[in-house]
Chains A and B, each alone.
Chain A
């Protein structure tokens, strides 16, 4: 594996190796402003490699792997190499990380206080976070919210934002081209284009935040708000955590503290602008 790159995103030091030059060149460009691992060990190793030795050249098939692998995952075509690398990195964190409670969520921060947005794929949590992160908010992450096990603090994990389908055009209009990855078509989730978080999100990746609001957005749903009781928030968050079961009691303690201390609201919205406006209104009410 002659093509390699390493860099740090929040608490995770990644080293990534690839059988092909292309995906690593993309990573080097898009992660150019992230700190390298100079003198630090990688705590996650991701590999994208040929599914069979000859598949490096003949109809290249990219297998997603690393310290942790899903044995029967289907390989991706080389045109989706960057996506494969990102998925491989996500997989390492999802399956291997034990230093925080991981919530499959996006998160943004203002004045040291954070909104955690939890929802299934298609709920719009990524798009909302991306749009807020271009405004008065600092993006903490679009994939995982990392909750401290002892201190109820959120560690930023500002990976590339993965924009999908309709949300791509909206973001492309308002960010400079050097912050955008290649257009990746034909993925299981449609068209994907990666967005580098704004410079402040990267520069302040070691600055933690206190959770202040749990948001359960639903895109396309009826516009409106519904307070979510702690019991329901707890159940939804256990579902969206990749390491809740493995963490056992410390994970349970962290999660119960979170749902007890932080208000939770479900919102429906029909357009991204409406969603952003709803979040701002909710925040203003919370601050009042």
Chain B
């Protein structure tokens, strides 16, 4: 078995680590680090008998992951205070309403946490031991300028000063160019919609804001169905599957947590995913979470066509493309996914222009 297979096995069934010898542990630690899953692994196997050097390493990784969550939530708090101080207020806004409903935005909503910070703020199972990098937030597009001004006033600065990058983000992307805080050195990604503006699929970000769940203390998260859809969109309708094993681990627990709370979850997810044009991404995410991590999904979701089956196999090959020294393997499949991510993001002529500009700037 490869180290990647051992990693998946350890996450699925923590008792499986009892059979590992020291070389296998060395390799497992390397690939877990490369996939940013060391803290998650540490949390999963906390109760297992472990070799002493592994126990010490994973114990420290667990504490570090807890600390990283404290810091991530603090960053969210800093963002909330920045927006509050600047009185970025859109509860009075009547201009933005969901495409499909006439509901206004929830009272007191300033921004919605996305990804890791949202999972931690909501105390979801996938947050246990999870590494959190940047702070990702979603705001209403008509409040984007106000949010940007408020964050810059509170000490966030541009990472990319290059005029082409700035213009590119503002014109075509679903988020502002990344900002970094001048003293805390932490990045924030301010999203105003779900996918790049040039992508073929255009999910309804306003309806996600309308359905957001306000947690109190100024923080809010997406509704359960939207959280799954957003995660799936980033895995399969945007990026190049880097960090796929971690994202799929999130997906596995998002699905399990929400389905166990609400018997109507799968139907609601189907309808909502179709509404956002992201059914195929959500379906694929659920199938792969089932295949790789044994996620419990409805039987009619497991059933798949031949073309699904072939596609899924390529995705699995990409997600598990790493050797026992932690090195990336399968360069051809990686390249295909890299090209795919760009093709999804923009039409061919624009892609050519973009790559030409980037290449000239080298």
- Asked if A75 is an interface residue, CB under 8 A from chain B, the answer is no
Q: Are A17 and B325 in contact (CB under 8 A)?
A: yes
Which residues of the other chain, A, contact B25 by a CB distance below 8 angstroms? Answer: 41
- Asked if A186 is an interface residue, CB under 8 A from chain B, the answer is no
CA of A246 to CA of B61, assembled, Å = 11
Could you mark each residue 22-41 of chain A with 1 if its beta carbon is under 8 Å from any beta carbon of chain B, else 0? Answer: 00000000000000010111
Choose, from B29-37, B191-199, B228-236, the stretch at the interface: B29-37
Which residues of the other chain, B, contact A17 by a CB distance below 8 angstroms? Answer: 325
Nearest neighbor of B33 in chain A, beta-carbon distance: A67
Choose, from B66-74, B146-154, B206-214, the stretch at the interface: B66-74
Could you mark each residue 45-80 of chain A with 1 if its beta carbon is under 8 Å from any beta carbon of chain B, else 0? Answer: 101010000000000000000111000000000000
| Contact among B26, B60, B64 for A15, CB-based, below 8 A | B26
B interface, by DSSP: helix, strand, loop or mixed?
Answer: helix
Query: Shortest Cβ distance from A52 into chain B, in angstroms?
Result: 12
- Asked if A176 is an interface residue, CB under 8 A from chain B, the answer is no
Q: Are A96 and B53 in contact (CB under 8 A)?
A: no
CA of A67 to CA of B34, assembled, Å = 6
CB neighbors of B among A212-254 (8 A) = 245-250
| Contact among B53, B61, B326 for A41, CB-based, below 8 A | B53
Query: Shortest Cβ distance from B10 into chain A, in angstroms?
Result: 13
Q: Are A67 and B22 in contact (CB under 8 A)?
A: no
Which residues of the other chain, A, contact B351 by a CB distance below 8 angstroms? Answer: none
Q: Are B67 and A249 in contact (CB under 8 A)?
A: yes
Q: Are B325 and A47 in contact (CB under 8 A)?
A: yes
- Asked if B327 is an interface residue, CB under 8 A from chain A, the answer is yes
Q: Do A248 and B51 contact each other (CB < 8 Å), given the known contacts A41-B29, A67-B326, A98-B63?
A: no
Q: Are B70 and A43 in contact (CB under 8 A)?
A: no
- Asked if B54 is an interface residue, CB under 8 A from chain A, the answer is yes
Query: Shortest Cβ distance from B89 into chain A, in angstroms?
Result: 33
- Asked if B56 is an interface residue, CB under 8 A from chain A, the answer is yes
Which residues of the other chain, B, contact A41 by a CB distance below 8 angstroms? Answer: 22-23, 25-26, 29, 51, 53-54
Which residues of the other chain, B, contact A120 by a CB distance below 8 angstroms? Answer: none
CA of A64 to CA of B53, assembled, Å = 25
- Asked if B335 is an interface residue, CB under 8 A from chain A, the answer is no
Q: Do A98 and B61 contact each other (CB < 8 Å), given the known contacts A45-B325, A66-B326, A248-B67?
A: yes
- Asked if B317 is an interface residue, CB under 8 A from chain A, the answer is no
- Asked if B57 is an interface residue, CB under 8 A from chain A, the answer is yes
| Contact among A37, A98, A99 for B22, CB-based, below 8 A | A37
Q: Are B64 and A247 in contact (CB under 8 A)?
A: yes
Q: Do A45 and B64 contact each other (CB < 8 Å), given the known contacts A40-B53, A67-B326?
A: no
CA of A1 to CA of B25, assembled, Å = 18
Which residues of the other chain, B, contact A47 by a CB distance below 8 angstroms? Answer: 325-327
CA of A248 to CA of B23, assembled, Å = 31
Query: Shortest Cβ distance from A67 into chain B, in angstroms?
Result: 4
Q: Are A42 and B67 in contact (CB under 8 A)?
A: no
Residues of chain B having any CB pair with chain A under 8 Å: 22-23, 25-26, 29-30, 33-34, 51, 53-54, 56-57, 60-61, 63-64, 67-68, 70-71, 185, 325-327
